[in-house]
Copies of this chain bind each other. A is one copy, B any other.
Amino acid sequence: MTVTIYDVAREAGVSMATVSRVVNNNPNVKPQTRKKVFEAIERLGYRPNAVARGLASKKTTTVGVVIPDISNMLFSEVARGIEDIANMYHYNIILCNADKRKEKEIKVINTLLEKQVDGLLFMGGSVTDEHVQAFRTSSVPIVLCATRDETNQYPYVDIDHQQAAFDAVNALVQDGHRDIAMISGNLQDTNNGYSRYMGYKEALEKNNMPFREEYVRIGNYRYDSGIESMKYFLELEQRPTAVFAANDEMAVGAIHAIQDSGLRVPEDISVISVDNSRIASMVRPQLTAIAQPMYDIGAVSMRLLTKLMKNEKIEDTRVVLPHELVKRHSTR
């Protein structure tokens, strides 16, 4: 039924070892023999079985990727970076959504390891002890992507979220704003939501500005929660003159809430965010934002993983990628 390496060997009149060598580009084969084998392969329509190969060689040329949500623009951009580099090094990707739910994350880590992936890339909200526990049982290298574990024992590629938030708020302060509100993400995301919130607080503090409870709303990173949060701010006695949103989508929501109320951006209220996804230039006014290099985070972490998998020397396994302010028209 299925044609194996034996069949090819017989057809070509050589041993299976020789066929194996040909298939694996081993130089120790006479060109003439090689040709015979290739012809036999062609004739029989032989296709090597990667599973058998994986069992025998203990390598699958596959890496596992744990991702919170593939349909989220940011993550899919990271995924694209991962894919491109993986491709370049001839690795395939097994992608698993885990919805930022811890138990599901642990579960997929285990199935990925069962599948004998050669390495693992983990993307998620936060890395807890349980995660580390699961990582420990792995005999293959693991790289954290756009996140980190508390004690920094695992290699990671990330940006400095707190600094990014700080820079965003600071830019607002530079523009003369004193009443700056924040639409935050989930504070349980230690590495992300919380860091940006801390960056906001830090910026206020450094500039001797008071922190006000009512100037912070917790959103869910979605457009609608940007609108809701902004509506709340607009009804405040002393409404803010500027808003810092933890991501683009909520910022766009905020802009529209402002415009819907008859006010203008940035004349009446400025809006800034962190992310700079493609949507940032797809609003009017175009969004001023701190740019996170998502594609690069994916690409660099995959590159790091390839080095780890090949036991290459690594200068640094903790890499923090730079962010930058992209000034557009939603601030003044």
Contact = CB atoms under 8 A, between A and B. Distances in A.
Given A49-B114, A70-B70, A114-B49, A259 B284 contact: yes
B97 A80 contact: yes
Interface string A5-19: 000000000000000
A305 B117 CA distance: 24
A149 to B, nearest CB: 21
Interface in A247-271: 249, 252-253, 256, 259-260
A282 B277 CA distance: 14
Q: Which of under 10, 10 to 19, 20 to 34, or 35 or more describes the interface residues of A? A: 35 or more
A229 B253 CA distance: 27
Given A83-B96, A92-B111, 5 more contacts: A70-B83, A71-B73, A71-B79, A71-B295, A92-B115
B87 A80 contact: no
Interface stretch (A52-60, A159-167, A314-322): A52-60
Interface string A61-95: 01000000111110011011001100100001111
Q: Which of A49, A80, A256, A282 has its CB near the most chain B CB atoms (within 10 A)?
A: A282
A2 interface: yes
A282 B279 contact: yes
A84 B99 CA distance: 11
Contacts of A284: 256, 259-260, 284
9 pairs of A and B residues whose beta carbons are closest in the complex: A71-B80, A76-B76, A50-B114, A95-B95, A51-B54, A50-B115, A51-B116, A71-B76, A83-B97
A73 B73 contact: yes
Contact of A96 (B93, B137, B249, B283): B93
A93 B95 contact: yes
A228 to B, nearest CB: 14
Given A80-B71, A93-B96, A94-B62, A115 B51 contact: yes
A48 interface: yes
Interface in A108-140: 110-111, 113-116, 137, 139
B278 A223 contact: yes
B94 A223 contact: no
A207 interface: no
A208 to B, nearest CB: 36
Nearest to A90: B111
30 contacts: A2-B139, A47-B113, A49-B55, A49-B114, A50-B114, A51-B51, A51-B54, A51-B116, A52-B55, A62-B115, A70-B76, A70-B79, A70-B83, A71-B77, A71-B295, A80-B97, A83-B95, A83-B96, A92-B96, A92-B111, A93-B94, A93-B95, A94-B94, A249-B282, A252-B282, A256-B282, A256-B284, A279-B279, A283-B283, A284-B284
